[in-house]
Protein backbone atom coordinates (compact mmCIF):
# COMPACT_ATOMS: atom_id res chain seq x y z
CA UNK A 1 0.00 0.00 0.00
CA UNK A 2 1.37 3.40 -0.89
CA UNK A 3 1.64 6.13 1.69
CA UNK A 4 0.87 9.74 1.06
CA UNK A 5 2.56 12.55 2.92
CA UNK A 6 1.49 15.73 1.20
CA UNK A 7 2.52 19.05 2.65
CA UNK A 8 -0.18 21.53 1.51
CA UNK A 9 2.04 24.57 2.08
CA UNK A 10 4.74 22.99 -0.08
CA UNK A 11 2.22 22.28 -2.83
CA UNK A 12 0.95 25.86 -2.67
CA UNK A 13 4.50 27.15 -3.03
CA UNK A 14 5.28 24.94 -6.01
CA UNK A 15 1.97 25.77 -7.70
CA UNK A 16 2.52 29.50 -7.17
CA UNK A 17 6.03 29.41 -8.65
CA UNK A 18 4.90 27.23 -11.56
CA UNK A 19 1.90 29.48 -12.26
CA UNK A 20 4.21 32.50 -12.33
CA UNK A 21 6.44 30.83 -14.92
CA UNK A 22 3.43 29.62 -16.91
CA UNK A 23 2.12 33.20 -16.98
CA UNK A 24 5.43 34.40 -18.39
CA UNK A 25 5.28 31.68 -21.04
CA UNK A 26 1.75 32.75 -21.98
CA UNK A 27 2.96 36.34 -22.42
CA UNK A 28 5.83 35.12 -24.58
CA UNK A 29 3.39 33.04 -26.62
CA UNK A 30 1.26 36.10 -27.32
CA UNK A 31 4.37 38.05 -28.24
CA UNK A 32 5.47 35.20 -30.52
CA UNK A 33 2.28 35.41 -32.57
CA UNK A 34 2.74 39.14 -33.11
CA UNK A 35 6.38 38.74 -34.08
CA UNK A 36 5.66 35.96 -36.57
CA UNK A 37 2.89 38.01 -38.18
CA UNK A 38 5.22 41.01 -38.41
CA UNK A 39 8.06 38.92 -39.84
CA UNK A 40 5.74 37.32 -42.38
CA UNK A 41 4.44 40.70 -43.50
CA UNK A 42 7.93 42.14 -43.86
CA UNK A 43 9.68 39.19 -45.46
CA UNK A 44 9.43 40.54 -48.98
CA UNK A 45 7.19 39.87 -51.92
CA UNK A 46 7.46 37.76 -55.01
CA UNK A 47 8.31 39.76 -58.09
CA UNK A 48 7.50 38.93 -61.63
CA UNK A 49 4.53 38.50 -63.89
CA UNK A 50 2.37 37.23 -61.02
CA UNK A 51 1.05 39.66 -58.47
CA UNK A 52 1.66 37.71 -55.28
CA UNK A 53 0.77 39.50 -52.09
CA UNK A 54 3.39 37.61 -50.08
CA UNK A 55 6.82 36.14 -50.48
CA UNK A 56 7.88 32.55 -49.95
CA UNK A 57 9.46 33.29 -46.58
CA UNK A 58 6.28 35.01 -45.39
CA UNK A 59 4.16 32.09 -46.55
CA UNK A 60 6.51 29.66 -44.81
CA UNK A 61 6.36 31.65 -41.57
CA UNK A 62 2.58 31.73 -41.67
CA UNK A 63 2.44 27.98 -42.36
CA UNK A 64 4.76 27.34 -39.42
CA UNK A 65 2.73 29.61 -37.13
CA UNK A 66 -0.49 27.87 -38.17
CA UNK A 67 1.11 24.55 -37.23
CA UNK A 68 2.80 25.69 -34.01
CA UNK A 69 0.04 27.84 -32.49
CA UNK A 70 -2.30 24.93 -31.63
CA UNK A 71 0.64 23.09 -30.07
CA UNK A 72 1.53 26.09 -27.93
CA UNK A 73 -2.11 26.50 -26.95
CA UNK A 74 -2.22 22.83 -25.92
CA UNK A 75 0.85 23.27 -23.72
CA UNK A 76 -0.66 26.33 -22.00
CA UNK A 77 -4.03 24.67 -21.39
CA UNK A 78 -2.39 21.45 -20.20
CA UNK A 79 -0.19 23.36 -17.76
CA UNK A 80 -3.22 25.19 -16.37
CA UNK A 81 -5.14 21.93 -15.95
CA UNK A 82 -2.15 20.27 -14.26
CA UNK A 83 -1.82 23.12 -11.78
CA UNK A 84 -5.54 23.06 -11.02
CA UNK A 85 -5.36 19.28 -10.58
CA UNK A 86 -2.58 19.66 -8.01
CA UNK A 87 -4.63 22.25 -6.12
CA UNK A 88 -7.80 20.12 -6.23
CA UNK A 89 -5.98 16.93 -5.19
CA UNK A 90 -4.35 18.71 -2.27
CA UNK A 91 -7.69 20.16 -1.16
CA UNK A 92 -9.24 16.67 -1.29
CA UNK A 93 -6.30 15.28 0.71
CA UNK A 94 -6.72 17.97 3.39
CA UNK A 95 -10.50 17.45 3.45
CA UNK A 96 -9.95 13.70 3.87
CA UNK A 97 -7.58 14.34 6.79
CA UNK A 98 -10.17 16.65 8.37
CA UNK A 99 -12.92 14.05 7.96
CA UNK A 100 -10.74 11.28 9.40
CA UNK A 101 -9.81 13.45 12.39
CA UNK A 102 -13.48 14.30 13.00
CA UNK A 103 -14.50 10.63 12.76
CA UNK A 104 -11.72 9.61 15.14
CA UNK A 105 -12.65 12.33 17.60
CA UNK A 106 -16.34 11.40 17.42
CA UNK A 107 -15.55 7.72 18.02
CA UNK A 108 -13.23 8.55 20.91
CA UNK A 109 -15.87 10.69 22.63
CA UNK A 110 -18.58 8.00 22.55
CA UNK A 111 -19.52 6.21 25.73
CA UNK A 112 -17.80 2.86 26.16
CA UNK A 113 -19.71 -0.25 25.21
CA UNK A 114 -20.34 -3.04 27.73
CA UNK A 115 -17.78 -5.16 25.90
CA UNK A 116 -15.18 -2.43 26.29
CA UNK A 117 -15.96 -2.23 30.01
CA UNK A 118 -15.46 -5.97 30.40
CA UNK A 119 -19.09 -6.52 31.29
CA UNK A 120 -20.88 -9.86 31.32
CA UNK A 121 -20.45 -11.94 28.22
CA UNK A 122 -23.34 -13.82 26.76
Q: For the whole model, what pTM was predicted?
A: 0.66
3 state SS for the chain: CCCCCCCHHHHHHHHHHHHHHHHHHHHHHHHHHHHHHHHHHCCCCCCCCCCCCCCHHHHHHHHHHHHHHHHHHHHHHHHHHHHHHHHHHHHHHHHHHHHHHHHHHHHHCCCCCHHHHCCCCC
Residue-level pLDDT at 29: 80
Residue 9: partners with Cβ closer than 8 Å, 6 or more residues away: none
**pLDDT tens digit string along 45-59?**
766 666 566 788 888
The number of CA neighbours under 13 Å toward the Cβ of 11 is 17
The answer, yes or no, to whether residue 121 has pLDDT greater than 50, is: yes
**pLDDT tens digit string along 60-110?**
888 888 888 888 888 888 988 999 999 999 999 899 888 888 888 888 888
Residue 1 — very low, low, confident or very high, per pLDDT cuts 50/70/90?
A: very low
Amino acid sequence: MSRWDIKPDGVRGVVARTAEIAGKLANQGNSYVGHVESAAGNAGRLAGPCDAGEGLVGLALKAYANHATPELTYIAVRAKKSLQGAVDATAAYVQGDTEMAANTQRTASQAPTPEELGGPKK
